[in-house]
A and B are shown apart, each in its own frame.
Chain A
Amino acid sequence: MNALIQLLHGFGTNCLLFVLTLVMAVPLGLVITFGTMSRFKPLKWVMKTFVWIIRGTPLMLQLFVVLYAPGLLLGIPMSNRMTAALIAFVINYAAYFSEIYRGGIESIPVGQYEAGQVLGLTKSQTFFKIVLFQVIKRITPPMGNEIITLVKDTALARVIGVAEILMNAQRFAASGVIWPLFTSALYFLLFTGILSVLMSWVEKKMDYYKG
């Protein structure tokens, strides 16, 4: 019973990391998208390079860099391991989200913008009243995928010493008790299961039109 509570406590950390990452990476991703789609070339290339580096290196490596770089390079050690994990996750996921957003925005036919323009709509009215909803509908399936991956990735935080569920489970396994590993799996399955149901509900809600 004590073990269950310890596991649950660990999973709380995973959930917290998940929620905070999602809340921050979703809007930050949009900012990065506007950067990578900018007509101002220097900004565009800086952002594209940034996305390339983040997507092209292991998340585990990024966790180490965020934890150690401030201390080793600037002499200001990272005080909180959870904060370090959160920063790494937000940056990593914002980069992935930004590419999903970009794909969604670029998939909207140019005729939608032109129709908005000839009807006298401003650029921002065209984006928010016409384009945005169509983008959201199109990116919901890939976003769902990414969000479910995030749930499982939170376990990676243990490599910089964040006391999440697998760290606890492994301690039990090392002392000869196997079932906490399976219990951990159940927690993850339950969480991702609920998310899947939620995502397909959202998809269904938006399926009242085609295109």
Chain B
Amino acid sequence: MSILEIQDMHKSFGKTEVLKGVGFSMEKGEVISILGSSGSGKTTLLRCINFLETADSGRIMVDGNVIFDATDKTKKTPAKIREAQLNFGMVFQQFNLFPQYNVLENVMLAPKLLAKERPDYKQNKRQILGEIEEKARDVIDKVGLTQKLLNYPCELSGGQQQRVSIARALVLGPKILFFDEPTSALDPELTGEILKVIKDLAQKHITMVIVTHEIGFAKNVSDRIIFMDKGVVAEEGTPEEVIDNPKNARTKEFLSLVDRK
């Protein structure tokens, strides 16, 4: 069974139809990169899947369960959306770290607030918080920032900030981790450290969907490539198929215009 299945997703902003029936599915442990020119709908697709936008039609299924259906109002209550949201983790282009909290606090904030909803929180508070801190330190170590545990975001480089935001998403143990152009806001010399972290995660079989403009990286890290054009999936296949031997005319054109290094 697919870990994630997107069916016939549509989204318009005013009169502009950005998604015109997008669908794909992925298996556990798979890494998918979504490529496409600006305005092709990649980011909107990611935002619809992560409930930052509400799709006009379509369905989202996780492990075979429908977690979003545009026609089903009962799945759109804030509580249901929150519950569904926790299947996913999201890393933003602009990091969106919380500036008033240090690295450890940024990573621990959400798990701490979620733990308060556990029925046994009051009795086992000390133990629960201890486990959360251990988990947080572990994911921070995974992204190589143990040295910066008590630093504030403004004291970190862009690459380090993005690594914190990856740790912040990882700590909640999402089934699928989404990246929205994770290196686009970084200086070229800083993109390498992010790509390395993502590659490490891929080797640990974390299921990931990456919207990116780094063609070479996408080819290197992905099991599958989705090429989007004008709001639909124009081409989909292994990196060798889509990047090295594209069949779709738009894919060919796009790849001829970008740096493929």
Contacts and interface: CB of A to CB of B under 8 A. Distances in A.
A118 B98 contact: no
Contacts of A211: 99, 153-154
Given A114-B92, A120-B86, A120-B172, A209 B109 contact: no
A119 B99 contact: no
B89 interface: yes
Interface stretch (A14-22, A123-131, A179-187): A123-131
B56 to A, nearest CB: 19
A39 to B, nearest CB: 15
B85 interface: yes
A88 B89 CA distance: 50
Contacts of B109: 119, 129-130
A134 interface: yes
A116 to B, nearest CB: 8
A114 B153 CA distance: 17
Range for the number of chain A residues in contact with chain B: 20 to 34
B168 interface: yes
Contacts of A117: 51-52, 85
Given A112-B98, A129-B113, A209-B100, A118 B152 contact: no
A116 B52 CA distance: 11
B89 A118 contact: yes
Interface string A105-117: 0000101101101
Interface in B155-182: 165, 168-169, 172
A114 B82 contact: no
Interface in A157-211: 208-211
Contacts of A209: 99-100, 152-154
B188 interface: no
A111 B92 CA distance: 8
Interface in A64-120: 109, 111-112, 114-115, 117-120
A104 B114 CA distance: 27
Interface residues of B, number: 28
A117 to B, nearest CB: 7
A120 B82 contact: yes
A74 B96 CA distance: 54
A112 B96 contact: yes
Nearest to B86: A120
Given A114-B52, A129-B113, A211-B154, A134 B85 contact: no
B52 A118 contact: yes
A145 B94 CA distance: 33
A24 interface: no
Contacts of B50: 118
A119 B110 contact: yes
Nearest to A211: B99
B119 interface: no
Given A211-B153, A211-B154, A114 B96 contact: yes
17 contacts: A109-B96, A111-B92, A112-B98, A114-B52, A114-B92, A117-B52, A118-B52, A118-B89, A119-B109, A119-B169, A120-B82, A120-B172, A122-B82, A134-B100, A210-B99, A210-B154, A211-B154
Given A120-B114, A137-B100, A210-B154, 11 more contacts: A109-B94, A114-B92, A115-B92, A118-B51, A118-B88, A118-B89, A118-B90, A119-B110, A119-B172, A130-B98, A133-B100
Please give me the 5 A-B residue pairs with the lowest Cβ-Cβ distance, nearest first.
Answer: A119-B110, A111-B96, A115-B96, A211-B99, A210-B154
